Amino acid sequence: MHKIVKIILVVVGLIGAALWFMLPESEMPAAEAANNGALNAMFAITWLLLGIAVAFSVVFALKNLFSNPANLKKTLFVVVGFLLVVGIGFVMASGTDVSIEEMANRGIATDEAEIKKIGAGLNVFFILTLVAVGAMLWGGVRKMIK
């Protein structure tokens, strides 16, 4: 199986190298270059390889997750903790942080719900940043005490 994967990777690499030399010149207008067959083929190969990598990553992560009950318990704690942080971030967001009229004057159509989602995302980012900094400080203090 390992040899088959290596052979496939070599073939894909050679196809990519051949397509590289078939790319349009830098002087070509972007509209014409976007319709180039070699460029589209390289994008297709990229999406295919990305899809395969994601699929294998998810399969092996789930396999390892369900093979050990202790890992499953830890993962559930992390997922519930993250959902709790998202809930707290959403509750903390007011939805009135930005003037909707001012956004409309700038050509950005939005409503209060969308502003609340953006505020919730920012709140989650700040909470997780504080947790990360706190964890680093806690680890450093524990190391200094020992």
48-86 residue pLDDT tens: 889 989 999 999 988 988 888 888 899 899 999 999 999
For 55, phi then psi, to 5°, come to: -60, -45
**Cβ–Cβ < 8 Å for 98, 115:** yes
Cβ neighbours of residue 28 closer than 8 Å, sequence gap 6 or more: none
Positions of the chain with pLDDT under 70? none
Amino acid 142: pLDDT:
92
Give the global pTM: 0.59
Amino acid 90: pLDDT:
94
Amino acid 95: pLDDT:
77
**Cβ–Cβ < 8 Å for 115, 100:** yes
Amino acid 138: pLDDT:
95
